[in-house]
Amino acid sequence: MNKLITHIHAKDVSSEFKSMTEDWPLWESTTHPQEPPNSGKFDFDYNGDYATERVLILSGKATVTPKDGSCGPITISAGDSVYFHKGFSCSWDVTEPMTKRYNYFNSSGTVSEPARISCDVCGTECFTQSWLTLEGEDICPDCFKKDSEKYAGAEYQELGEASTKPEVFEPAVQKKRSAEDDTEQHKRQKLT
């Protein structure tokens, strides 16, 4: 088994672990960016500010394939627990919509403080609101507004979690044109 992933089948997951996950954040595969859209497929690199992401699969089924070829595809399903260790890189194929509880642990085995998110374009801290692109980039609201067409498939997040998208942002160029058009329209109305 790949040293960067630990898969525990449902029958072997302890009741203590299950209890511990009850208050952990909830992830739903349907809100995660996928390529192509709605295919259940996406790549993910476990390279955050943590040593391990530990998860308990609540429902659904997926196949996780390590990119380094260190082992074959791993099928995970409801009741399983998985530890994704820092440096693990894989392709996901969600075959049944999945929900999971997850949390991040430091190298001492204790829950890490919530990760901070910085924009991969400008470096601004954007933990409260960001967009996660299919390439795994975090984009702040200002950078998203400047180039929303480029980030069209990105997942909107609040506090690092998928969330309901806010009002759709118009690209900055369109906003400027709209303001100019409104001014011209206002001038014409005055003349008539």
Q: Express each pLDDT in 70-107 by its tens digit.
A: 889 999 999 999 999 999 999 999 999 999 999 999 99
Q: Which long-range contacts (CB under 8 A, 24 or more apart) does 33-36 make?
A: 33/132, 33/133, 33/134, 33/153, 33/154, 33/155, 34/94, 34/134, 35/134, 35/153
Asked whether the predicted pLDDT for residue 44 surpasses 70, the reply is: yes
Contact 93, 114 (CB under 8 A): no
State how far the Cα of 163 lies from the Cα of 132, in Å rounded to an integer.
Answer: 11
Contact 101, 25 (CB under 8 A): yes
Quote the pTM value.
Answer: 0.64
Asked whether the predicted pLDDT for residue 176 surpasses 80, the reply is: no
Contact 169, 146 (CB under 8 A): no
Instruction: Say how many CA atoms lie within 13 Å of 108 toward its Cβ.
Output: 4
pLDDT for position 114:
61
Give φ, ψ of 135 to 5 degrees.
-85, 0
| Residue ranges per structural domain of the chain | 1-113, 116-192
Q: Which fold has domain 1-113?
A: Jelly Rolls (2.60.120)
Highest mean predicted confidence (pLDDT) among 53-67, 98-112, 139-153: 53-67
CB within 8 A of 135, min separation 6: which ones?
A: none
C-alpha angle 118-120-121 in degrees, rounded to nearest 5:
120
Section 24-29 average pLDDT: 88
